[in-house]
Amino acid sequence: MIETGTQSPRLGLRQAGKRIGLVALVAILCVAPFLGLSEYYTHVLIMIFLYVIYSSTYRFILRTGQLHFGAHGFIGVGAYACVLMVMRLGLSFWIALPLAGLAGALLAVAIGYPALRVKGAYFAIITWGFAESLRFLYMRVDDPFGGNSGLSKIPHPAPIPIPFLGAIDFSSMASWYFLGLILMVITLFILYRLEKSRFGLIYSSIREADNLAKAVGINIMRYKVFAFAICSGLAAVGGGFFAHYSGFISPHSFVVLLTISLGIYVTVGGLKAFSGPIVGALFLVVAGEFFAQYGFYKTMLYAGLMIISILFVPDGIVGLPRMVASAFTRLRKRREAATEYGAS
């Protein structure tokens, strides 16, 4: 009882510190565009937001025990669905974006029910084949997908009128910045609530021993499909945002290298921690801007970082402080033991 009482205040202070740090981080991100950032740095931050969305949804699927190799397919579905609904059907971007997410989620349900019956390399091959089939479709069908040349001159979202203050016009980078930030926060909130609820415990049990989870009455197929649909839908929303932000998409925008990059972000950042893909995306997008000067070797450098992370920092960057603290603790104990031995 005494031990529990001493740990509880520490845990409360730790959680309070995390909340304060999170609020401070969001506040800094909200004021960042007003600090005189150039368009280049604003663009880098927008891409970080986008890859946080992608990698966080990808990590959640990995945490359910499924090796997903077709994330680029669902991102592409969101991009093409959103653009076609705006350019061909005349829908507003603000209606098309959530509908694109819904299209990605429904497609994930249709693919998930047969595909999620297998695991490991089998599921990876199925999802990769599905994503590549979609890309082949985009390349071969000129109308409406634009064929190999893709779709260009994608319009910006309609301005958002604000009473007495005018309107938010998406001709400026700051407007895109805040939209990307909002989408990232919504995505992280949904995934965090899922992971910290009973769903997270169920997914952990499915990942560790799905047969045992099934034996105690858990409908593992339903939960797997649900996670697959939610994450694919959120990734598709990110794809729709990317399409209208960039103003151009093509089948070459959604290749398997995108999924591999997400796996690298998650691995380098830390698969076990919720903040892992956030840290990984932040670190590797910035590193990617530096590696861009090396052209073809960029992917090799990324792969080298992942190999180093797996071999020497298995918990990723987020686990590095704990690893260093543990090393110092072991060193201190050895010194104390050596001192006591020498004194005796």
pLDDT tens digits, one per residue of 118-147: 888 899 999 999 999 999 999 999 989 999
The string over 25-40, giving b where at least 16 C-beta atoms fall within 10 Å of a residue's C-beta and e elsewhere, is eeeebeebbeeebeee
pTM to 2 decimal places: 0.89
**How much of the chain, in percent, has pLDDT values that exceed 70?**
91
Residue 190: per-residue pLDDT: 95
3-class SS string, 217-228: CCCHHHHHHHHH
pLDDT in tens, the chain (344 residues): 344 444 456 656 666 666 777 777 778 888 888 888 888 899 999 999 999 999 999 999 998 888 889 999 999 999 999 999 999 999 999 999 999 999 999 999 999 989 988 888 899 999 999 999 999 999 999 989 999 999 999 999 988 877 766 677 888 888 999 999 999 999 999 999 999 888 888 888 887 777 777 777 778 888 899 999 999 999 999 999 999 999 999 999 999 989 988 998 998 898 888 989 999 999 888 888 887 777 667 777 777 777 887 788 878 888 887 887 777 788 887 777 777 766 55
Length of the chain, in residues: 344
Report the pLDDT value the prediction gives residue 208, as an integer from 0 to 100: 76
Amino acid at 198: R
All structural domains of the chain with their residue ranges: 39-254
Cβ neighbours of residue 242 closer than 8 Å, sequence gap 6 or more: 50, 75, 79, 249, 253
